[in-house]
């Protein structure tokens, strides 16, 4: 492979969703030689599917709104393992980032006074939980992600960002010192392999919901950045923390925004009872997503589920009227008709908790710099490697993300990573070049697939992986199931290592891309499974029958999964915000 | 058994001198699945089948293709909507070069999109908060900003087939009008000046194929009519 072409950039951003495009925009404006490398045309990235909005204290719905209240909600929502310095940064910088989006042209919905429309979302409060429900989620109808992603792409066009669209990053390239100095990438259209050399490599590859059989995530959400980082030996943080969104359409898995409940919709069981009143007397249907998802599963398990099999509940919207639905939730009306064969103006939508979001990921600081631990357990920056968006774990979401905080995370930390990389490049970055053997190491798994001559097929193995995760690592978890799941995953890993790529052609070979994605799903699934088994408590989205309580003595910590030993360590949570007092852990009720 | 007969356009530039149609039998077990699900079943039979897909819910615009003669998104098109006589024929979007199988080269389509400068232009300094916009002015963007760039419209348009390099096409013009209609955009006359030639807008013959196929229910023909009105008003 010594004849491989190389491309050289100051910064390469892998992933063209919200965080990648926001980072790229910052760097394109700075004049640094930057490229976005994305396996799909950027507006096909999963950010496009975000519906309800971007949560931020811009003080539009309530002129007295305060980012500190948003920060309190975020820390409480994360069940107190969100890093408070990061939550502080996101919530205080948020308004600037949202106004920037508006100035770029994002078509936000509006109030009569011309300001950005904000709707109530789950887990939102005024006055540190004492002032009742807030309305803090800025929305463009129920197509906020689409509007945001297209706006960012458009502004990257305006600023002449270089795009490598429909290119697939295979693996990171590390030099002899362990610094990340680029990646191996494949042009999907031609099959050409390229060595991308870069002083800063940003993983903005999004989530990995496709490790589960039922997910709201796009088919492309295969955790490519997580897989690459794990294969390069870097640790993953809080991988047991997966959010199950309360309202995925039953059977199809497609998302129905929390904004439906923000606009006044609510969940009912087979008796027509608004059951959330029992589980969360104050916030009701707008409690944290983990709380609502668990309550729904309890209703189903206790025989009050809807439908012939009693395996889902209903989301009632018809009382909102056609006008509100048409104005505020037009996309939901469309999706319900297509995927549930239901007109929400007339009938309730069948819904069930569905895998939605990965709170864990590559541990980073607020500048997007990836972090690992030295031998004494101290944080250590990984030279050359950055992460932002869902692939990163800053951590602002802790054990459970609040609705609308994902889009804010993307733009705030995409921007922060871009700004930091710009200043670091200005100061000068020099790393050792990669040697041929460093490059060969990053080519290993692709070569393995290309040389495979027999074995099991990719789609069947992927389906097995998704079933294991679905049955053993779902909303409620317990020791014996998880042990069994970890064992099955270990066997599956062996089989995937011997699986077969039947199509060896070069031009737009999607079978090869899917094979490479399967390796990444395997890495993410294993990190999730071992982290979930080892965190012996219930916190946020991680709910165990055998350890039903939160254990702040032992587990007020991030988990850190080490791929070399497949073991779980711990990392301190940050409790020292710079400008506000620490939010001390309290019992979490809604 | 309820086998669906599917005929698919195949072309691999490395091995095929010409495209051909390949027949597949797919067992849908009688369910009214989406065309995209059928493609996934075909790919399990033949892993070399190439097509694009991402969100699988009609918002990313990846899987535009021609299904029994009509352009649409495979992921939100149920079999009951397209299958005639137990048969489904799948072809790539018409009028664009084929890279492989159902994957077309969209470079010309994107070029026309980029040509209309698809970003807000405002020559006043940014305020400290958002620019204000009345709900009535914001309403003018409904039916415009929702475009997902799937290219179903432009590749169903004979004027675009003939002049893909000179006629902006329905998708690009819809976005052009999205910025012309935005009360926050101040580049109206510059935008119109770029469209004044006989091709960019005026190759539209108003046959409304674009409207008939748009999977998001948008109306590019109406937007083009509005641009024409603005151009004419500008000229007099």
| ipTM computed for the complex | 0.98
| pLDDT above 60 (res A1) | no
* Chain B residues touching residue A334 (CB < 8 angstroms): 58
- Measured in whole angstroms, how far is the alpha carbon of residue A346 from the centre of its chain? 33
From the candidates A119, A289, A328, A535, give the one annotated as an active-site residue.
A289
CA–CA separation, A262 vs A114, rounded Å?
21
Taking all residues of chain B, what is their mean pLDDT, rounded to a whole number? 97
Residue A210 DSSP code: G
- DSSP SS3 for A197: strand
Closest by CA position to A254, among listed A119, A121, A355: A355
pLDDT at B235: 81
Asked if A219 and B50 come within 8 Å (Cβ–Cβ), the reply is: no
Radius of gyration of chain B (CA): 20
* Sign (positive or negative) of CA dihedral A400, A402, A403, A408: negative
Nearest residue, CB atoms, A157 vs list B114, B148, B149: B114
In this prediction the pTM is 0.98
Interface of B with A in 72-131 (CB under 8 A): 76, 78, 99-101, 103, 106, 110, 114, 117-120, 122, 126, 128-131
Residue B190 DSSP code: H
Q: Is the peptide bond before B228 cis (omega within 30 degrees of 0)?
A: no
Residue B1 pLDDT level (bands cut at 50, 70, 90): low
CA–CA separation, A95 vs A89, rounded Å?
11
Q: What share of chain B is helix, strand, coil (3-state, %, to 5)?
A: 35, 15, 50
Determine the distance in angstroms separating the CA of B48 from the nearest CA of chain A, rounded to an integer.
Answer: 6
pLDDT tens track for A566-590 = 999 999 999 999 999 999 999 999 9
| pLDDT above 70 (res A367) | yes
| pLDDT above 70 (res A2) | no
* Chain A residues touching residue B120 (CB < 8 angstroms): 103-105, 154
Distance (Å) of CA B70 to CA A292, A437, A548, B89 = 42, 51, 54, 10
Residue B53 pLDDT level (bands cut at 50, 70, 90): very high
Interface of B with A in 188-207 (CB under 8 A): none
Average pLDDT over residues A395-420: 98
Which burial class, exposed, middle or buried, applies to A6 when counting CB atoms under 10 A from its CB (0-12, 13-18, 19+)? exposed
**Residue with tokens 């004027």, as numbered in its chain:** B159
Q: Is A16 annotated as a binding residue?
A: yes
pLDDT at B177: 98
| The pair of three-digit structure tokens given for residue A552, joined into one six-digit string | 């702040």
Determine the distance in angstroms separating the CA of A572 from the nearest CA of chain B, rounded to an integer.
Answer: 36
| The pair of three-digit structure tokens given for residue A322, joined into one six-digit string | 């056609």
Q: Is A406 annotated as a binding residue?
A: yes
Q: Measured between CB atoms, does B33 come within 8 Å of chain A?
A: no
| pLDDT above 80 (res B236) | no
Q: Identify the residue with better confidence: A25 or B30.
A: A25
CA–CA separation, A303 vs A169, rounded Å?
47
* Chain A residues touching residue B114 (CB < 8 angstroms): 157
Determine the distance in angstroms separating the CA of B185 from the nearest CA of chain A, rounded to an integer.
Answer: 8
CB-based burial, A503-515: b 16+ in 10 Å, e otherwise: bebbbbbbbbbbb
Nearest residue, CB atoms, A102 vs list B54, B76, B131: B131
Domains of chain B by range and CATH?
Answer: 3-104 (3.10.20.30), 107-235 (1.10.1060.10)
pLDDT tens track for A210-230 = 999 999 999 999 999 999 999
Nearest residue, CB atoms, B50 vs list A102, A459, A510: A510
pLDDT tens track for A147-187 = 999 999 999 999 999 999 999 999 999 999 999 999 999 99
Annotate A445-504 with DSSP letters as a single string. HHHHHHH--S---HHHHHHHHHHHHHHHSSSEE-HHHHHHHHHHHHHHHHHHHT------
| pLDDT above 80 (res A189) | yes
Asked if B61 and A43 come within 8 Å (Cβ–Cβ), the reply is: yes
- Beta-bridge partner residues of A14: A37, A203
Residue A402 DSSP code: P
Q: Is A55 annotated as a binding residue?
A: no
- Beta-bridge partner residues of A186: A168, A193
Annotate A273-319 with DSSP letters as a single string. --THHHH-TTTGGGS-HHHHHHHHHHHHHTT--BTTTT-BEEEE-GG
In the residue annotation, A289 being an active-site residue is answered as yes
Instruction: Give Cβ neighbours of residue A323 (< 8 Å, ≥ 6 apart).
Output: none
Q: Measured between CB atoms, does A113 come within 8 Å of chain B?
A: yes
CA–CA separation, A91 vs B136, rounded Å?
30
| pLDDT above 90 (res A348) | yes
Asked if A158 and B119 come within 8 Å (Cβ–Cβ), the reply is: yes
Determine the distance in angstroms separating the CA of A409 from the nearest CA of chain B, rounded to an integer.
Answer: 19
| pLDDT above 60 (res A69) | yes
On whether the CB atoms of residues A394 and A413 are closer than 8 A, the answer is yes
Q: Are strands A193-203 and A5-14 parallel, antiparallel or unpaired?
A: parallel
pLDDT tens track for B62-104 = 999 999 999 999 999 999 999 988 999 999 999 999 999 999 9
Nearest residue, CB atoms, A40 vs list B62, B99, B184: B62
Nearest residue, CB atoms, B145 vs list A44, A104, A147: A147
Closest by CA position to A156, among listed A40, A39, A26: A26
CA–CA separation, A208 vs A196, rounded Å?
24
Asked if A49 and B103 come within 8 Å (Cβ–Cβ), the reply is: no
Give the neighbor-by-neighbor strand order of the sheet with A557-562. Answer: A236-237, A557-562, A567-572
Taking all residues of chain A, what is their mean pLDDT, rounded to a whole number? 97
Phi, psi (rounded to 5 degrees) for A188: -65, -35
Interface of B with A in 37-66 (CB under 8 A): 40, 43-44, 47-48, 50-62
Asked if B61 and A44 come within 8 Å (Cβ–Cβ), the reply is: yes
Domains of chain A by range and CATH?
Answer: 6-205+227-238+358-427 (3.50.50.60), 243-354 (3.90.700.10), 452-562 (1.20.58.100)
């Amino acid at each position: 492979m010594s004849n491989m072409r190389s491309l050289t950039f100051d910064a390469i951003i892998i992933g063209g969703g919200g965080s990648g495009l926001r980072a790229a925009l910052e760097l394109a404006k700075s004049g640094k030689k930057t490229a976005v490398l994305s396996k799909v045309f950027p507006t096909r990235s999963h950010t496009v599917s975000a519906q309800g909005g971007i949560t931020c204290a811009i003080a539009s719905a309530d002129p007295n709104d305060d980012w500190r209240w948003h920060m309190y909600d975020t820390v409480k929502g994360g069940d107190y393992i969100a890093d408070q310095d990061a939550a502080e940064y996101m919530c205080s910088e948020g308004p600037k980032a949202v106004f920037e989006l508006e100035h770029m042209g994002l078509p936000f919905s509006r109030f009569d006074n011309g300001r950005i429309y904000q709707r109530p979302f789950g887990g939102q409060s005024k006055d540190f939980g004492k002032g009742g429900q807030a309305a803090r989620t800025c929305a463009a109808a129920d197509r906020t992600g689409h509007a945001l992603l297209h706006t960012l792409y458009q502004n990257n066009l305006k600023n002449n960002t270089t795009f490598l669209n429909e290119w697939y990053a295979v693996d990171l390239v590390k030099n002899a010192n362990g610094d990340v100095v680029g990646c191996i990438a494949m042009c999907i259209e031609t099959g050409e392999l390229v060595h991308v050399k870069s002083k800063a490599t940003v993983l903005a590859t999004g989530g990995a919901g496709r490790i589960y059989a039922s997910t709201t995530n796009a088919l492309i959400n295969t955790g490519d950045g997580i897989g690459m980082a794990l294969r390069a030996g870097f640790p993953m943080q809080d991988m047991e923390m997966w959010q199950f969104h309360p309202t995925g359409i039953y059977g199809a898995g497609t998302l129905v925004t929390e904004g439906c409940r923000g606009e006044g919709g609510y969940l009912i069981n087979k008796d027509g009872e608004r059951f959330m009143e029992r589980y969360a007397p104050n916030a009701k249907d707008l409690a944290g997503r983990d709380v609502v998802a668990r309550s729904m599963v309890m209703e189903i398990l206790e025989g009050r589920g809807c439908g012939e099999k009693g395996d889902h509940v209903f989301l009632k919207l018809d009382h909102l009227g056609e006008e509100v639905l048409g104005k505020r939730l037009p996309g939901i009306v469309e999706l319900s008709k297509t995927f549930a064969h239901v007109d929400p103006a007339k009938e309730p939508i069948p819904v069930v908790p569905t895998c939605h979001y990965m709170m864990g990921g590559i541990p980073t600081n607020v500048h997007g710099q990836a972090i690992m631990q030295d031998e004494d357990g101290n944080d250590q920056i990984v030279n050359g490697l950055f992460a932002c968006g869902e692939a990163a774990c800053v951590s602002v979401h802790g054990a459970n993300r609040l609705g609308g905080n994902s889009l804010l995370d993307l733009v705030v930390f995409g921007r922060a990573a871009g700004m930091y990389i710009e200043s670091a490049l200005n100061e000068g970055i020099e790393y050792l070049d990669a040697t041929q053997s460093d490059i060969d190491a990053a080519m290993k798994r692709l070569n393995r697939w290309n040389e495979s001559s027999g074995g099991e097929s990719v789609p069947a193995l992927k389906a097995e992986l998704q079933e294991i995760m679905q049955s053993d690592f779902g909303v409620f978890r317990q020791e014996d199931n998880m042990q069994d799941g970890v064992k099955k995953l270990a066997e599956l890993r062996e089989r995937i290592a011997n699986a077969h790529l039947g199509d060896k052609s070069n031009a737009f070979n999607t079978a090869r891309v899917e094979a490479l994605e399967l390796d990444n799903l395997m890495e993410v699934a294993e990190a999730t499974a071992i982290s979930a088994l080892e965190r012996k408590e219930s916190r946020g989205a991680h709910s165990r029958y055998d350890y039903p309580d939160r254990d702040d003595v032992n587990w007020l910590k991030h988990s850190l999964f080490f791929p070399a030993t497949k073991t779980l360590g711990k990392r301190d949570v940050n409790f020292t915000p710079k400008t506000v007092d620490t939010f001390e852990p309290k019992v979490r009720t809604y | 058994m309820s086998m669906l007969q599917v005929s698919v356009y195949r072309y691999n530039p490395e091995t095929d001198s010409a495209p051909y149609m390949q027949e597949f039998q797919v067992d849908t077990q009688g369910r009214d699945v989406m065309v995209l699900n059928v493609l996934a079943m075909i790919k399990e039979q033949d892993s070399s089948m190439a097509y694009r897909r991402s969100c699988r819910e009609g918002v990313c615009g990846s899987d535009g293709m021609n299904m029994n003669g009509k352009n649409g998104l495979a992921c939100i098109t149920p079999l009951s909507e397209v299958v005639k006589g137990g048969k489904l024929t799948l072809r790539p979007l018409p009028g664009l070069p084929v890279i492989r199988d159902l994957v077309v080269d969209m470079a010309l389509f994107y070029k026309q999109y980029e040509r209309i400068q698809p970003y807000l232009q405002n020559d006043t300094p940014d305020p400290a908060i958002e620019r204000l916009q009345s709900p009535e002015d914001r309403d003018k963007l409904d039916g415009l900003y929702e475009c997902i760039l799937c290219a179903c419209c432009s590749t169903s348009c004979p004027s675009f087939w003939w002049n893909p390099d000179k006629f902006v096409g329905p998708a690009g013009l819809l976005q052009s009008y999205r910025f012309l209609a935005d009360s926050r955009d101040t580049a109206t006359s510059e935008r119109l000046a770029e469209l004044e030639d006989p091709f960019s807008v005026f190759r539209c013959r108003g046959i409304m194929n674009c409207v008939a196929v748009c999977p998001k229910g948008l109306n590019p023909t109406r937007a083009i009519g509005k641009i024409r009105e603005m151009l004419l008003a500008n000229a007099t």
